[in-house]
Amino acid sequence: MSLNVLITAGSRRVPLVQAFQRAVRTTGGGRVVVTDVNPLSPTVYVADRSYEVPLSTDPGYVGAIERICSDERIGLVVPTIDDELLLFAEVARRFADVGIQVAVSGPKTIGACNDKYQTWRVLSARGLPVAETYLPSDLPAAPSFQLFIKPRFGRGGVGAFPVRDDRELAFFLQYVADPVLQPYLDGPEFTIDVLSDFTGRVLSAVPRERVVIRAGVVDRGRTVRDESLVSLGALCAEALECVGAINIQCRVVNGQPVIFEINPRFSGGIPLTNAAGADFPHMLVQAARGREVSPVIGRFRDGLWMTSYETSVFVPEAAIGFSSALSERIVPEVA
* 4-113+187-319 shares its CATH topology with 132-183: no
Note the pLDDT of residue 332. 42
Q: What pLDDT, on a 0 to 100 scale, did the predictor assign at position 327?
A: 59
79: left (phi over 0), alpha (psi -120 to 50) or beta: beta
CA distance 170 to 161: 13
Work out the number of other CB atoms within 10 angstroms of the CB of residue 215.
9
The CA distance from 208 to 306, in Å, is 10
Contact 269, 191 (CB under 8 A): yes
- The confidence score (pLDDT) of residue 238 equals 96
Amino acid at position 69, single letter: C
The C-alpha atoms of residue 180 and residue 191 are separated, in whole angstroms, by 21
Annotated domain spans of the chain: 4-113+187-319, 132-183
Sign of CA dihedral 217, 223, 227, 231: positive
pLDDT in tens, 46-82: 999 999 999 999 999 999 999 999 999 999 999 999 9
Distance CA 21, CA 274 (A): 13
31 vs 156, higher pLDDT: 31
68 half-sphere exposure, CB direction, 13 A CA radius:
27
CATH class of 132-183: alpha beta
Length of the chain: 335
Phi then psi dihedrals of residue 207, to 5 deg: -80, 140
For strand 74-78 and strand 101-102, is the pairing parallel, antiparallel, or unpaired? Answer: parallel
Q: Which of 73-82, 152-161, 289-298 has the lowest mean pLDDT?
A: 152-161
| Residue 92 confidence (pLDDT) above 90 | yes
Which pLDDT tens digit goes with each residue over 241-281?
999 999 999 999 999 999 999 999 999 999 999 999 999 99
| pLDDT band, residue 329 (cuts 50/70/90) | very low
* 330 pLDDT more than 70: no
Q: Which CATH number fits domain 4-113+187-319: 2.60.120.560, 3.30.1330.200, 3.30.470.20, 3.40.1160.10?
A: 3.30.470.20
- What does the pLDDT read at residue 141? 87
Average the pLDDT over 165-175 and give the result: 96
